[in-house]
Structure 1
Amino acid sequence: MATEAGGPQCFEAVVLAAGAGSRFGGGKLLAPYMAGVLLDGALAAAFAAPARSVTVVTGAQEQAVAQAAIRLADRLGVHARLRMVHAADYALGMAHSLRMGIASLPAETEAAFVFLGDMPRVPREILRPMAEAVDAGAPAAAPVFQGRRGNPVLLSAALFPQVLALSGDAGARAVLEGLGERLALVTAPDDGVLYDVDRAEDLPR
């Protein structure tokens, strides 16, 4: 079963873009980055994944973040693959946004990539091997660089009930740690799977 892009038919992608970016000083995902805004990097990577659609979970600055996502999707010619979900209680932490994104996916979804909106340098080379690992039976897949596990992650639908029970700001970390050696690790070619932007000084000058 394959999409036109050659990936698993019922895989989806979720981009968590709900946070207020308080440590950044606010407006983090809309901060200038390269030729666009910071969010563009994670979104472009999500659209490059072997997934049917990309669901952007908004929260703070809902309308502005949604418009930024629409602009990039239009520029890439993939507007039909873009979905939006708003996490009204985004201030409760990342787990709430993740739950909203996963809960919104079609019932037949077999697995979901989870991208973080403040990670703009995800290497595309890891995406298909991650999908292949889960398609072959792994409950989840994650990239690793120099011994450190990074993002995005790919969660099979078997893990969705655990994800929907999460709370706080830790995301799916506890779910992944509980898998032990069943978590498929894909070696990343660079540290883009670790690089995120928390503060303004984290942006390239």
Structure 2
Amino acid sequence: MTDVTGLVLAAGAGRRFGRPKAAVEIDGERFVDRAVRVLREGGCSPVVIVSGALRLSVPGASEVHNADWESGLASTFRAGLAAVTTDAVVIVPVDTPWLGADSVRRVIAAWVAGAEVATGTYGGKRRHPVLLTRPHFATAASLAEGEQGARPFLSAHPDLVVEVPCDDTGSPFDVDQPEDLAGPGAT
């Protein structure tokens, strides 16, 4: 098995949140540090962070700066894919702090078993993490638009996608506003 890059999409300014979410902390850990840790514990090496609104430094990860970050998630996704040197990449957005390392392990296991594209599912719905193999990087990058990264590619190529149940590994709940810090299922 060759290495799998972990890719953290962390370039946004967090406009709805009020500040860049990469620097937000839960239990004393910044979102970006948490995402890097989950990817590493899940089996990814190397780990790449795509920054933008905020420059980011995390031990054990390299940073790629997306100068065009204000144009949306698609440019961050493309910058990240361009930095990947391995045959596969596992992608997570920085604002999903409840993802678990087991979800990363499971999508990597799907790749080892032959999947070219894999995505974690929760309640039967496709969410993160997403694994792509190198033959699909260019197409996935070309289909990314605005605030969508891998989703247009996954929708256009459902026959390639291996869905990996991850319900018991954590939660894909994303933090958009400060009240979301209460966590998944909070009311």
TM (norm. structure 1) is 0.82
Write the distance in 2 (CA, Å) between the matches of 1:118 and 1:32: 11
Write the distance in 1 (CA, Å) between the matches of 2:10 and 2:121: 23
Aligned length, in residue pairs = 182
* Residue of structure 2 in register with 1:199 after alignment: 177
* Residue of structure 2 in register with 1:111 after alignment: 88
Deviation at 1:167, TM superposition (A): 2.7
**Aligned CA-pair RMSD:** 1.7
Q: 1:126 aligns with which of 103, 114, 122?
A: 103
Question: Do structure 1's residue 157 and structure 2's residue 150 form an aligned pair?
Answer: no
Paired amino acid for 2:73: M
Deviation at 1:163, TM superposition (A): 2.3
Write the distance in 1 (CA, Å) between the matches of 2:171 and 2:18: 24
Question: Do structure 1's residue 58 and structure 2's residue 37 form an aligned pair?
Answer: no
Paired amino acid for 2:162: A
TM (norm. structure 2) is 0.89
Q: Is the CA contact 1:126–1:188 (under 8 Å) kept in the aligned structure 2?
A: yes
Paired amino acid for 1:167: E
**Cα shift readout 1:62-101 (whole Å, capped 9, x = no counterpart):** 2xxx13xx2xx3xxxxx3xx21100000011111001111
For structure 2, which runs of at least 5 residues remain unmatched after alignment?
Answer: none
* Residue of structure 1 in register with 2:153 after alignment: 175
* Residue of structure 2 in register with 1:186 after alignment: 164
For structure 1, which runs of at least 5 residues remain unmatched after alignment?
Answer: 1-7, 74-78
Deviation at 1:145, TM superposition (A): 1.2
> Identity of aligned pairs, percent?
31
Write the distance in 2 (CA, Å) between the matches of 1:13 and 1:32: 20
* Residue of structure 2 in register with 1:11 after alignment: 4
Find the residue that maps to 1:195 and give its secondary structure.
coil
Find the residue that maps to 1:155 and give its secondary structure.
strand
Runs of 4+ in 1 over 3 A off after TM superposition: 189-193
Deviation at 1:24, TM superposition (A): 0.4
